[in-house]
């Protein structure tokens, strides 16, 4: 089939590579002048890695990534709150890795021939006609099927589903950064610290050889600050946390700090497919980053799409995309809701947060691991 993919983020490049490798005639459109992914590190959970494995893309990625055990929560001094037997969950469901975003993007698109890629092309709209889809904004372009992977702010989603309310801000600000490792951090690696006084959060992971990746999640100030100001404000807020926290923040070069107001879809979509067009990645299910599942869900989308389109003829496009929607929508919409719930839980303050901490301390590690496992179920396990 001739398949057009709109958007070359992590989801778009994965789908494009997978569809190309299974024999489809793929064109990937990206509005930016070149292909790249900016913005620090990323955690790829076992289910995301399993999806990449099914596309033959997991092995090359592991060469560049740091394996990690993720799970559990601590207080701002670094004392355990929720102890998760994450190692056991990983034994059953597989590895979690932390990788540089640019390296991840490059690895995912390595096997996609250059003549499949059109950069500097902003697709303005899609028009479905009998037997094909016209791709607006590109001279005479059409396709048997179109994959919309233009991110959380998707303009094409807004055109396809005009009644959908789009995105909303959550009132939280996320900072992410990378740096070379510094002394005194060993204790906090793979830890997520939450604080019942400020409702702020900090996470630290090893990334590649000798590197660190961190993130913070804090209440949103009145305006979105520049990276330098944001780093300073957060370091100030966390000045009396475990000493490694302000040290890591202040040791990060401003150029390596990324600032994002957290947004999510205001409402789940009623379908991920309409006729010969489907949505994938954040365009379909933009969620808060609290479960670290955004990209992993995009990888599951890509793996499902490749499988459901395998051997399809152009006449079968709509029916096959319907199968993709039936598989992907329930799980990804469930994880969108679970991410928002996790955000509400970890950012509480006051008596509700005190109660939360008491309950977290009383949770047995095996139970905590079981909750993680439900998220990490791979496609093969949850279908």
Ligand X SMILES: Cc1cc2nc3c(=O)[nH]c(=O)nc-3n(C[C@H](O)[C@H](O)[C@H](O)COP(=O)(O)OP(=O)(O)OC[C@H]3O[C@@H](n4cnc5c(N)ncnc54)[C@H](O)[C@@H]3O)c2cc1C
Binding residues vs ligand X (CB under 6 A): 6-12, 29-32, 42-43, 48, 122-123, 149-151, 155, 174, 176, 260, 281-283, 289, 292-296, 298
Least distance to ligand X from the beta carbon of 258, Å? Answer: 7
Closer of 157 and 357 to ligand X (Cβ): 157
> Among 9, 46, 249, 44, which Cα is nearest to 147's?
9
Residue 212 and residue 182 in contact, taking contact as beta carbons nearer than 8 Å: yes
Least distance to ligand X from the beta carbon of 311, Å? Answer: 25
Least distance to ligand X from the beta carbon of 156, Å? Answer: 6
All residues at 6 or more sequence positions from 270 whose CB lies less than 8 Å from its CB, including other chains: 161
Closer of 106 and 361 to ligand X (Cβ): 106
Token readout for 357 is 């901490």
Least distance to ligand X from the beta carbon of 244, Å? Answer: 20
CA–CA gap between residue 348 and residue 251 (Å, rounded): 28
Least distance to ligand X from the beta carbon of 359, Å? Answer: 25
Least distance to ligand X from the beta carbon of 8, Å? Answer: 5
Cβ-count burial of 106 within 10 angstroms (0-12 exposed, 13-18 middle, 19+ buried)?
Answer: middle
Closer of 283 and 360 to ligand X (Cβ): 283
Closer of 167 and 274 to ligand X (Cβ): 167
Which alpha helices (H) appear in 37-161, and where do they start and end? 46-54, 58-62, 86-93, 101-109, 155-160
Closer of 289 and 357 to ligand X (Cβ): 289
Residue 117 and residue 25 in contact, taking contact as beta carbons nearer than 8 Å: no
Closer of 241 and 376 to ligand X (Cβ): 376
Token readout for 38 is 């900016």
Neighbour tally for 356: CB within 10 Å: 19
All residues at 6 or more sequence positions from 279 whose CB lies less than 8 Å from its CB, including other chains: 147, 148, 149, 154, 157, 160, 269, 272, 273
Least distance to ligand X from the beta carbon of 123, Å? Answer: 4
Closer of 27 and 296 to ligand X (Cβ): 296
Query: Can you say whether the dihedral through the CA atoms of 268, 99, 45, 370 is positive or negative?
Result: negative
The closest residue (CB) to ligand X is 9
């Amino acid at each position: 089939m001739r398949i057009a993919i709109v958007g070359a983020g992590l989801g778009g490049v994965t789908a494009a590579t997978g569809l190309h490798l299974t024999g489809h005639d793929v064109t990937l459109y990206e509005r930016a002048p070149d292909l790249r992914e900016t913005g620090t590190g990323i955690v790829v959970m076992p289910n995301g890695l399993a999806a990449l494995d099914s596309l033959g893309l997991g092995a090359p990625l592991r060469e560049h990534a740091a394996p990690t055990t993720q799970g559990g929560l601590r207080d701002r001094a670094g004392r355990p709150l929720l102890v998760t037997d994450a190692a056991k969950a990983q034994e059953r469901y597989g590895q979690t890795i932390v990788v540089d975003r640019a390296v991840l993007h490059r690895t995912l698109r390595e096997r996609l021939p250059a003549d499949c890629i059109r950069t500097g092309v902003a697709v303005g709209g899609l028009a479905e006609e009998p037997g094909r889809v016209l791709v607006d904004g590109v001279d005479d372009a059409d396709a048997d099927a179109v994959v919309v992977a233009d991110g959380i702010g998707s303009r094409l989603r807004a055109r396809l589903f005009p009644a959908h309310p789009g995105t909303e801000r959550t009132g939280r600000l996320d900072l992410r950064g990378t740096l070379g490792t510094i002394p005194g951090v060993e204790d906090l690696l793979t830890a997520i610290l939450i604080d019942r006084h400020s409702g702020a959060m900090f996470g630290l992971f090893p990334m590649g050889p000798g590197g660190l990746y961190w993130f913070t999640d804090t209440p949103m100030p009145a305006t979105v600050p520049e990276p330098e100001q944001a780093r300073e404000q957060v370091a100030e807020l966390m000045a009396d946390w475990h000493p490694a926290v302000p040290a890591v923040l202040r040791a990060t070069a401003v150029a390596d700090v990324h600032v994002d107001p957290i947004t999510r879809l205001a409402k789940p979509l009623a379908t991920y497919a309409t006729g010969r067009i489907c949505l994938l990645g954040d365009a379909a299910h933009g969620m808060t980053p609290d479960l670290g599942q955004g990209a992993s869900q995009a990888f599951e989308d890509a793996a499902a799409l490749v499988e459901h389109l395998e051997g399809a003829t152009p006449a079968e496009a709509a029916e096959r995309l319907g199968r993709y929607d039936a598989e992907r929508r329930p799980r990804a919409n469930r994880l969108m809701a679970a991410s928002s719930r996790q955000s509400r839980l970890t950012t509480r303050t006051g008596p509700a947060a005190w109660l939360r901490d008491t309950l977290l301390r009383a949770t047995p590690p095996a139970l905590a691991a079981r909750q993680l496992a439900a998220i990490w179920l791979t496609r093969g396990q949850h279908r």
